[in-house]
Amino acid sequence: MPLIRGDVVGYDFEKMTFRFTMLTPEAKTIDCEISSTAMDFLARSRGTPPSGRELQFLSLRDQIELLASAIFDKERLLPIRVFTKHLGNTKKGNRLW
């Protein structure tokens, strides 16, 4: 089931993740986050400072939301957490992107 764009929450300094929400077709809010490492991987960069994370998220938002929706469909675990294991080849074959 495809998820719908929700709100930007912001960068979590302690967890080093960027938080956002998505909505189910029934308008249920789903909490989501993507690791800093995963965002850098998508952006083909390294070490983006915390102050640049929101801009980075916004530039990658469409890709990140597609990933979150695919993870929701595959894993049904909440909250949705996007990590680099979802982006590249892994031994378990969990690649979604």
CA distance 43 to 57: 9
Residue 96 belongs to a domain: no
Burial 6-25 (b: 16+ CB within 10 A, else e): beeeebeeeeebbbbbbeee
Q: 94 with 71: CB under 8 angstroms?
A: no
Indicate which CATH number applies to the domain containing 72.
3.30.160.140
DSSP annotation of 78: S
Query: Based on the structure, what is the number of domains in the chain?
Result: 1
pLDDT at 58: 97
- What's this model's pTM, rounded to 2 decimal places? 0.86
Residue 48 belongs to a domain: yes
- pLDDT of 86 strictly over 80: yes
CA distance 45 to 47: 7
**42 is in which domain, residue-wise?**
4-86
Residue 93 belongs to a domain: no
Residue 91 belongs to a domain: no
pLDDT digits (tens, 9 = 90+) for 9-47: 999 999 999 999 999 999 999 999 999 999 999 999 999
User: CA angle, corner 55, sides to 53 and 58, nearest 5?
Assistant: 105
